[in-house]
Amino acid sequence: MKRVLTIGGSDSSGGAGIQADIKTFAARGVYGTSVLTAITAQNSYGVQEVHEVPADVVDAQIVSLMSDQGLAVDYAKTGMLYSSAVIEVVAKALERYKIPFVLDPVLKAGSGGILLEDNALSTLIERLLPLCAVVTPNVPETSFISGMEIRNTEDAKEAALTMHKLGAAAVIIKGGHLEQEIAAGKATDLLYDGKFEEISLHAVQIAKIVHGGGCSFSAALAAELAKGQKLRDAAFAAKRFVHEAISGGTEVSNMIVVDQMHGLRRDADRYQTLENVKEAVRMLKRIEGFETIIPEVGTNIGMATEDTESEKDVAAVDGRIVHTKEGIKADCVDFGVSSHVARMILAMMERDKERRSAINVKYSSEIVDRCKKLGLRISSFERGKEPADVKTMEWGVREAGKEFLPDVVFDLGAVGKEPMIRIFGNTAVDVAGKVKRIMERLP
């Protein structure tokens, strides 16, 4: 596993600085180490206090890491450095150990508060800019470093050229601040390493301050470069990572703190959801007599992810479960393969986010009676009253759930429409378990 070092300040709110970097390193699959340059007292309203770590202690931390073969790093990133003395020590150490690094020129906290002394900017430009593999300023930071007003993309390109002439091997000006970007609903990063390239994604529309985005981007970039990615590929990966971390961010007081683990949790949830549906299908196949309650149109069982946003986030059996001469047949389980079961689940989740699964089975009064005896809450709707401009599943589930939240929803069909029962639960395995209990008690 590659080892990546962050050199920066501690954020007591946990959203940015060293804390954000370490979380990002873990999420990007590298081993993270840290050198603390300052302790800040900050929250969502700003930075109240800054206590700088003495420059010799900063140096001692780097020496300690690099003298241990197991901890000596492959790559680094710098964040809050605060003073000329600390910048000088860090520059000498990076030169001494020949550590490639990403320079994140942190000047202010997103919530407000100075994180670099006024007289230290020139030291940063003179000592660190010529050493870095890439510098990653936002638009306001670019203005300070280049001495230019940045109003549009052309200004940003000129500023990138200026920073390149000052010694930076490559420049990435982070987007999201220019009026033309805001009007287009995009956040476009400008990369220059001898030629220009724009890296653009749709901007996440958030009214509150976003905290930790810049730190997370530079940390993700350092991690990807440490793993051997080319700069352009690393920049794309880092931008996608931060975009997702902002989209899944946590609301804390008056700011949104980026969530570096959002993508990992989403991927884990999708995997667990798929596996849950697969296990439910195996359970259904083992239920004696299950084939007798498969409707003519086939049955399907599905389950949505926790943060589902559309039918694409619902896993189900591709092609439905059917009864053939060879027995019960079910093809692969995947996301977005059954609009029918997905719509009924999404409609139920509007009322209860925990009700993430459902199955449809053949209607019979015996099944309804069995459900009642099992203590399941039952409701129904009339297909004949379905409005012309709606889809059955959304309308039917909402109609059946007007007075209470049902476990079972049935209808008696209509002209050309087969009667049907839908059984809901928190997971697909939960739903399959209900089917098993129903079948055990049927005559």
Q: Domain coordinates of the chain in residue numbers?
A: 3-260, 266-441
Mean pLDDT of the chain: 92
CATH topology of domain 3-260: UDP-N-acetylmuramoyl-L-alanine:D-glutamate ligase (3.40.1190)
Give CA–CA dist 50/120, Å, rounded. Answer: 15
Contact status, residue 5 vs residue 33, Cβ threshold 8 Å: yes
Q: What is the dihedral of CA 297, 303, 308, 309, to 10 degrees?
A: 0
Per-residue model confidence (pLDDT) at position 17: 94
Give CA–CA dist 148/143, Å, rounded. Answer: 5
Give CA–CA dist 422/434, Å, rounded. Answer: 11
Radius of gyration of the chain (CA): 28
For residue range 237-248, list pLDDT tens digits in order.
999 999 999 988
Q: What is the mean pLDDT of residues 309-333?
A: 94
**How much of the chain, in percent, has pLDDT values that exceed 90?**
77
Give CA–CA dist 364/372, Å, rounded. Answer: 13
Domain 266-441 matching CATH 3.40.50.1370: the answer reads no
Residue 117 has pLDDT above 90, yes or no: no
For residue range 147-156, list pLDDT tens digits in order.
999 998 999 9
**How much of the chain, in percent, has pLDDT values that exceed 70?**
95
Give CA–CA dist 327/310, Å, rounded. Answer: 33
Give CA–CA dist 307/314, Å, rounded. Answer: 10
Burial of 79: CB neighbours in 10 Å, binned 0-12, 13-18, 19+: buried
213 CB-near residues (< 8 Å, 6+ apart) = 110, 242, 245, 246, 258
Give CA–CA dist 378/46, Å, rounded. Answer: 53
Of the candidates 44, 60, 55, which has an alpha carbon nearest to the alpha carbon of residue 89?
55
Q: Please, which pLDDT band fits residue 442 given cuts at 50, 70 and 90? A: low
More confident of the two residues 387 and 109: 387
Burial of 251: CB neighbours in 10 Å, binned 0-12, 13-18, 19+: exposed
Residue 291 has pLDDT above 60, yes or no: yes
Collapsing DSSP to helix, strand or coil, 262 comes out as: helix
Q: Bridge partners of 359?
A: 301, 423
Residue 336 has pLDDT above 70, yes or no: yes
Q: Please, which pLDDT band fits residue 385 given cuts at 50, 70 and 90? A: confident
- β-strands 250-252, 209-211 pairing: unpaired
| Token pair recorded at residue 437 | 């209990």
Collapsing DSSP to helix, strand or coil, 408 comes out as: strand
Give CA–CA dist 147/34, Å, rounded. Answer: 31
Per-residue model confidence (pLDDT) at position 220: 98
For residue range 135-182, list pLDDT tens digits in order.
999 998 999 999 999 998 999 999 999 999 999 999 999 986 665 555
Of the candidates 430, 298, 290, which has an alpha carbon nearest to the alpha carbon of residue 367?
290
Give CA–CA dist 357/315, Å, rounded. Answer: 9
